[in-house]
Every structure is written in C-alpha cells, then in structure tokens.
Amino acid sequence: MAFREASLETTAAPARVWQVWSNVNQWPEWNPDMKESRLDGPLKLGATGMINTRSGGKHDVVVTHFEEGRSFELESTALPGTKMAIRATIGSRGAGSQITQGFEPRGLLAPLVGPMMSGQILKTFNAVLAGLKKKVEAAP
C-alpha cells in the first residue's frame, strides 16, 4: 500500500521543525491527539518506545525509517495481522518548510484496514500538523 498523507507549510526553518518533531517525548506539549509518547533512548533506526493517542489508544512503536533532519517513521501494531507506519517528513519551502505526516497500513489486513481507517486518521493529522506549526513558529 502507499502512504496517505496530510501536509502543511510553515515559516519555520527545517532545522527548527526537526528540533521539535524529533523530540518524541515532548509530543504531548503540542500534539492534540497525543496523551503520552516516549522513546527509550535517542531517535534512531531501531529505537523502541510507546505512544498513547486519543484516537487510537496505546501502542508499542519501533523506528523503521530514519533520515537525520529530514524524516522518520514509527511502526506499531494496530490490529492483529496489521501494522501501522506513521512517517514524518520535512521539506524546504523557501525560507520555511513543508511538514508532512503520512500513514501506511501493512500486513495481511492492510487492504481492509487502510480504507476503513484513512478518513479518521487523516483528520487527526490536520490537527497534529497545525499544533506542530504553532509550536515551531513560536519563539523557542
């Protein structure tokens, strides 16, 4: 399956966006869907942790993709036979950035789960990206 994504532009530089977005342990400060989040160490390929969202509950996560300063991906078990990958990507846009959050269901039930959950998940992404934009555009 392909990633389904939501994007937003911000006046903040990519380095500022990365500084905030890559700090998983601080997500509840600006992410309205996040009750709790943590990584058991630095953000890097193979790192593990946990997220607890208002929309999807509590999930163990592993970092399955990592490009320093540009993107990372957390994968969790969504349902039996299905994993959910959430990817964060930062692109340059003039003096600012384009921030994109995407999801991709994986596994045996992905063809069913993806279409069933995509609308609900994308709605939360709009609020998440708006929260991130507000945080990165505020004075540090």
Between CA 133 and CA 140 the distance in angstroms is: 13
Between CA 104 and CA 85 the distance in angstroms is: 5
Task: Report how far apart, in Å, the C-alpha atoms of 135 and of each of 13, 68, 105 are.
Answer: 12, 20, 28
| 57 phi-psi bin (left φ>0, alpha ψ -120 to 50, beta other) | left
Q: Domains of the chain (ranges plus CATH)?
A: 4-137 (3.30.530.20)
Which pLDDT does position 78 carry in this prediction? 67
Between CA 58 and CA 35 the distance in angstroms is: 9
pLDDT tens, the chain, 140 aa long: 577 889 999 999 999 999 999 999 999 999 998 999 999 999 999 999 999 988 778 999 999 999 999 999 999 986 777 888 999 999 999 989 999 999 988 888 777 777 767 767 778 889 999 999 999 999 76
pTM above 0.85, yes or no: yes
